[in-house]
Structures are given as C-alpha cells and as structure tokens.
Amino acid sequence: MTKPVTRETVSETAQLNARVAELEHEQKQLYALVDILQEISGTLNFVDILQTITQKLGETFGLDRCSIFLAERGGSTARLVASYEDPSIRNYVVDLERYPELKRALESGEAVFISDAQKDPNLVHIRGALANRNVRTITVIPITWRRVAIGAIFLRTFRDGNVFSDQDIEFTKAVGNLTAKALRSAYRFERVANRRNELTDSERRASLERIAFLGFLRRLVDTLAKRHGTQEELLAEASGDELDRLVDITMAVLAEEGKGR
C-alpha cells in the first residue's frame, strides 16, 4: 500500500533536496579550489596566477564579472590586473572614487557585500549601467598580507543568477588568502631571480677583469724583456709614488675592460 503524501513528507523531501543541493555546491567549490591550487602551483608568474583565479571563480559562480585589483600607492587608485569577462584587460588603472565598494574593502581590509546593487545609495552614479547588465549583488574580498590589504577580488552576480551566500563569501575569502600567498611566492621568486642575474653580471665583470689583467701582465713582461737594463735597475729608478700611480692607472684600465668596453 502506498504511503500517503503528507505535509511532513513534503517538508522532509524539500529539506533533503536542499541539503543535497548544498552538498553539491560545496563539492563544486572544493573542486574549484583544487583546480586553482593545481593551476597556480605550475607557475610563478603573478599575471598567470591572477588570471587563473578570476577564470575559476567566474566559472564556479556563473558571474557577470570577476576581477582582481592590486592597490596603488597613495590610496586613490587601484590597478586592474586580471579579468574573467575580458582576459585581455590587464594593468588598467581605475579611480577608486568610481568604485566606493572597492575603496572601502581596501581601506578597511574587510569584505564588502552589497545584496542589491541597484538600490545601494553609494552606487547611484552607475545605477543605469548596473540595470543594463542586470546586476544583483556585488562582493569585494580584500587580498591581505600581514593584515594589510594589497588588493581585492571583485565579484558581481546576475539578478536572475544564484544568490551569493555566506558560504560563498567564506569560500572566496579562502581563495583571497590563497591568492595573497601565491603572490608572495611569486614576488620572492622574482627577487631571487633578479639577485641571481645581478650576481651573474658581477661575476662576468670579475672574469673579464682577470682576463684583462693577465693580458696586461703578459704584454708588460714582453715589453720589459725588449728593454735594456735589469728589472732591479728599473725598480730602483721608480719611486714609491710612481709605482702607486701606475697601479691606479692599471686598476682603472682593468675596470674599463671588465665592463666589456
């Protein structure tokens, strides 16, 4: 005999379906986080790292916009360095007065969430553009290092898209922390690479100086051998000041030769 459908049964089924959907959403986020980790572990180029993160976030949430900004000195501007909707946009400077939500996140170091962008009084100057894009929510997650906001992840959802939940915000914060660490690693690698290049140049100059010095000694010995008089006579005739002067001239010549001129 078929069990009759009651209100309790319908409620339990709805709760079960909601929980299944929640678990599937969490699983999707975990997969996205693993993908991000795998992608950024294969490069130390900070532009590639940031572009990968915007791409994965945009695909995971079905966003209207996902961008990463890096803070500029002075606090009046920020630099757009990666964009989900247009990957060709890089290194674009924006005025923070036009992005009050981004400015607030960078100054406070706290996440900014706007549940209805078209009704927010701080965004009245772009309300028409938001309506044309059918924007619903705006979320700005700061990228912090040692409690200082060095940038931010900017996310914008469609009005008919999924609601951006507290869980989604926490997930994006985790991505923001991961981004900060990846940027730090890329920065350290770049510094080490630059130091290595400087060391290589220094070693190259030292090697050229040694070669120039050996060439100088060989030519000097050949010249002395052709002259009359012994080396002791030449040394006796030369004063200490004169020898110092000749040494200074020699070192100056070696330095110039070491530069590869």
Quote the strand ranges of 106-147, DSSP E.
112-114, 135-145
In words, the CATH class of domain 12-192 is alpha beta
CA 170 to chain CA centroid, nearest Å: 22
Q: Measured in whole angstroms, how far is the alpha carbon of residue 216 from the centre of its chain?
A: 49
How is the chain split into domains, by residue range?
A: 12-192, 200-258
Q: pLDDT value at position 93?
A: 93
> Regarding predicted confidence, which is higher, 4 or 47?
47
Q: What is the pLDDT of residue 156?
A: 92
DSSP 8-state code for residue 4: P
Q: Is the pLDDT of residue 217 over 90?
A: no
- Sheet with 148-158, side-by-side order of all strands: 92-95, 77-83, 65-71, 148-158, 135-145, 112-114
| CB of 90 closer than 8 Å to CB of 80 | yes
Q: What tokens does 34 get?
A: 């693993």
Neighbours of 216 (CB within 10 A): 14
Q: Which amino acid is at 121?
A: P
Identify the DSSP state of 82: E
Helices (H), the chain: 7-41, 46-61, 100-108, 127-132, 166-226, 231-237, 240-258
Closest to 257 in 3D by CA, of 201, 198, 216, 200: 216
Nearest residue to 75 via CA among 146, 153, 139, 150 = 150
74-123: per-residue pLDDT in tens?
Answer: 889 999 999 998 888 888 999 999 899 999 999 999 999 998 998 999 89
Residue 127 — very low, low, confident or very high, per pLDDT cuts 50/70/90? confident
pLDDT digits (tens, 9 = 90+) for 175-208: 888 888 888 776 665 666 666 666 566 666 766 6
